[in-house]
Amino acid sequence: MTISTSTRQLEAQLRYTRTGLGHDAFELAVDFRLDSGITILFGPSGAGKSTLLDCIAGLLKPAVARIILNGEALNDSAANLVVPPRRRHLAYLFQEPALFPHLTVEQNVSFGLFDVKRHDRASRVQDLLAAFRVERLADRKPAEISGGEAQRVALARALATAPRAVLLDEPLKGLDAELKAAIVDDLRAWNRVRQLPILYVTHQRDEVDALGERVIAIDRGRIIAEGAPHVVLDAPRKKRLAYAAGFENHLSAVVQDIREPDGVMRVRLSGSETELEVPLSYATTGNRVHIAIRAGDILLATRRPEGLSARNILEGTLASLETNGTTVVCRINAGAMFLVHVTPGAARSLELTAGQRVWLVIKTHSCHLVDD
Amino acid sequence: MEALWLSARLAVLVAAILLVLAIPLAYWLSQTKWRGKFLIESVIALPLVLPPTVLGFYLLVAMGANGWLGQLWLAWFGHTLAFTFTGLVAASILYSLPFAVQPLVMAFESVDRRLLDAAAVLGAGRWRAFRQILLPLSFPGIVTAVVLSFAHTLGEFGVVLMVGGNIPGVTRTVSIDIYDHVQSLEYAAANRMAIALLLISFAVLSTIYAVNRRVWSPWPTQ
């Protein structure tokens, strides 16, 4: 066994089983390594993200585990070693702030500093309150501050204890994008000198884009992909991950013809005559494949377009359109039902109305092949 | 008046001892995952369903000169436990135990588990989490437990009659006194005692409801 002490690093191999009937039964089995900086743990709800964090923090007991932080074992089944949560020196932020309701903001933040000298404690609490911009709330009770403020206080409280790694479980759920970005910036600034491994759980695609240097995608208790965000999420290999990553169109198709020199293949959508050209993948003629396409990657035309490089031009009927914030969601029947996102301005200038004839333009490489 | 004073002393003492006994017991019940927990819960709840005379009868047998507890007491102190104030206290503790334990268990269980998890991750051991998080957040449950065990002891009759008898200044509590007065057709005296008990009970119950509905509260509600 090699022990690396030089870098700040969290290594975990663990298996956790929850016995139960049917859907209650669940097994988490993962093996990964976190280096300094933010790693995103991404996956649909129920994938096992919170369970994984609870196991690392020691709040749940994995059946088999080897969790090594900076070369020191927190959990090692082989050596029958389990360090209790209070001695793991981790910062763990739950989905809810879980502030102690009977203590003030200041008392909450200093809760973990009981072994620190009184004078140092006060200055450390002040520094953290300032770092997360909540110093003016020091004397308030949790019931008297907003949700976003509570998240900031919870973050300050978790980081006050000089942790060796940081676990964040969808910490910014329910906050608007601007507020989220501001809090994440503060977190990055805090971590600049410390260089701790931070595991950041989310099921929201926009957060991955905003934060990620590295993504671990997890589903049904298994790691299904890891790497840079655009590698993991822009070309999802799994159907459920594609759903979570915001691929609105999922089509089932049968491979018709493979053109290896061009790096493409033609597929026919199930239940229709419509054909698409998609990137080549491990499939042979007659195989059934699944294709994921982002609604925002499809162009919409009211006349048959000509002279385009895009290989897929499908004729269809606009079934309905619905404004959803700053996007107009169009449903188009072109053999299969396609979802297409356009801007309200585009919808106006094209004078889109339900029932009209439209053409869809889809680049070959906007079609992603995914496994079940 | 002697009876009222005796009852008050008994009730305060029982409530204080029960608080000390019931908090660890309730904490254990609220945290344990032991499968046999229901057996302990049933034993504690027995006084709720048994007629006081049944409990009183067995206590009397145990505390009497032939009972194991009585003999133990006789060997140590030179007298049995039955028909003494100490015996009354012991009997009342058993009789009021569910009234102290159940509100505490409910209060401990209703504290958000994630708060205790947060305390653990922040480095707090069980004792610190208990003292600084669980106990303060269970304050209304603690008040309920104290007040209920006080009130229940104040109003008990059957167990006192069986175990304590009716010795003025030693075991004659208010409820026994009232019964005595009625038996001797002294309705005015019985009425004075009864009204005192009624008012005390009312004051006690309104305290519980005030605390639990947070009419006033030491902490703002979340």
Q: Is residue A145 part of a domain?
A: no
| Strand A197-202 versus strand A165-169 pairing type | parallel
For residue A228, pLDDT beyond 90 = no
Give the model's pLDDT for residue B215. Answer: 44
The residue segments making up the domain with residue B83 are: 2-30+44-212
Q: Which of A54, A59, A116 to mutate to test the interface with B (most CBs of B within 10 A)?
A: A59
Domain count, chain B: 1
Q: Among candidates A279, A277, A239, A282, which has minimal Cα distance to A256?
A: A277
Nearest CA in chain A to B220: A143
Name which of A57, A100, A144 is nearest B133 (Cβ-Cβ): A100
Domain end residue (candidates: A213, A244, A275): A244
In this prediction, residue A197 carries a pLDDT of 93
Average pLDDT over all residues of chain B: 87
Please name the member of B119, B121, B132 whose beta carbon is closest to the beta carbon of A90. Answer: B121
Adjacency order of strands within the sheet including A81-82: A26-34, A10-18, A64-69, A72-76, A81-82
Q: Check whether A183 has a pLDDT greater than 70.
A: yes
Of B115, B120, B137, the CB nearest to A86: B120
Q: Which residues of A touch B125 (CB under 8 A)?
A: 86
Q: The complex's ipTM?
A: 0.80
Q: Residue B116 falls within a domain, yes or no? A: yes
Which residue in chain A is spatially nearest to B219 when comparing CA positions? A102
The whole-number pLDDT of residue B214 equals: 56
pLDDT digits (tens, 9 = 90+) for B48-84: 898 888 888 888 888 887 888 888 888 888 777 778 8
φ and ψ of B74, to 5 deg? -60, -40
Per-window interface: A 124-163 vs B, CB < 8 A: 141-144, 157-158, 161
pLDDT at A1: 42
Measured from the Cβ of residue A23, the count of other Cβ atoms closer than 10 Å reads 7
The CATH number for A61's domain is 3.40.50.300
Binding-face residues of A in 94-123 toward B, CB within 8 A: 94, 96, 98, 100-102, 111-112, 114-115
The verdict on residue B54 lying in a domain is yes
- Give B136-158 pLDDT, tens digit per residue: 999 989 988 998 899 889 888 88
Clarify whether residues A27 and A85 are in a common domain: yes
DSSP string, A250-311: EEEEEEEEEEGGGTEEEEEETTSS-EEEEE--S--TT-EEEEEE-GGG-EEESS---S-S-S
Among residues A189, A220, A244, the one where a domain terminates is: A244
B119–chain A nearest CA distance, Å: 8
Instruction: Let me know if residue B76 belongs to a domain.
Output: yes
pLDDT, tens digit (0-9, with 9 covering 90-100), for B95-122:
999 999 999 999 999 999 999 999 999 9
A232-259 core/surface letters (b: 16 or more CB in 10 A; e: else): bbebbbbbbbbbbbbbbbebebebeebe
The residue of chain B with its CA nearest to that of A159 is B122
Q: Range of A14's domain? A: 10-89+163-244
- What three-state secondary structure class fits A53? helix
Task: Say whether both A342 and A256 belong to one domain.
Answer: yes
Rounded to 5°, angle at Cα A330 from A325 and A334: 165
